[in-house]
């Protein structure tokens, strides 16, 4: 194992260290971007799953809650991929779900 000292580096050692640092930063950046990309994709699939599952339900209250979660995930997904119409439409659907959830709760109390 090579001992590092405070002695000045020769040109070859300096270039090796700079190259190592450069490629380490590039590699770390690529891994980070791939992880963000994978998270974004998984978030989109999870949102789709919630919306589809909500449409299979017959209980309206549960349908609204599950659909709300799916819409919320789609809002985050739309913002992450800069698809603002997706975020806007699902934000609107969230508000519609809240309206009907409140309406269902009021009807249940009556």
Picking from 40, 97, 55, the residue whose alpha carbon sits closest to that of residue 72 is 97
Give the tokens for residue 36. 């963000």
pLDDT tens for each residue of 6-23: 666 677 877 888 888 888
Q: Is the dihedral of CA 57, 59, 61, 62 positive or negative?
A: negative
pLDDT tens sequence for the chain (110 residues): 566 666 666 778 778 888 888 888 888 888 888 888 899 999 999 999 999 999 999 999 999 999 999 999 999 999 999 999 999 999 999 999 999 999 999 998 88
3-state secondary structure of 30: helix
* Domain spans in the chain, listed from the N-terminal domain onward: 11-109
What is the pLDDT at residue 27?
82
CA-CA distance, 13 to 19, in Å (whole number)?
10
CA-CA distance, 98 to 49, in Å (whole number)?
20
CB atoms near residue 92 (< 10 Å): 12
pTM higher than 0.85: no
pLDDT tens for each residue of 43-53: 999 999 999 99
């Amino acid at each position: 194992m090579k001992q590092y000292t405070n002695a000045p580096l020769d040109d070859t050692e300096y270039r090796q260290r700079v190259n190592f640092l450069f490629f380490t930063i590039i590699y770390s950046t690529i891994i980070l971007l791939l992880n963000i990309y994978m998270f974004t994709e998984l978030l989109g699939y999870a949102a789709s799953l919630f919306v589809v599952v909500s449409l299979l339900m017959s209980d309206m209250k549960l349908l609204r809650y599950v659909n709300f979660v799916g819409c919320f995930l789609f809002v985050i997904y739309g913002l992450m991929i800069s698809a603002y119409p997706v975020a806007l439409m699902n934000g609107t659907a969230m508000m519609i779900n809240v309206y009907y959830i409140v309406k269902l709760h009021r009807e249940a109390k009556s």
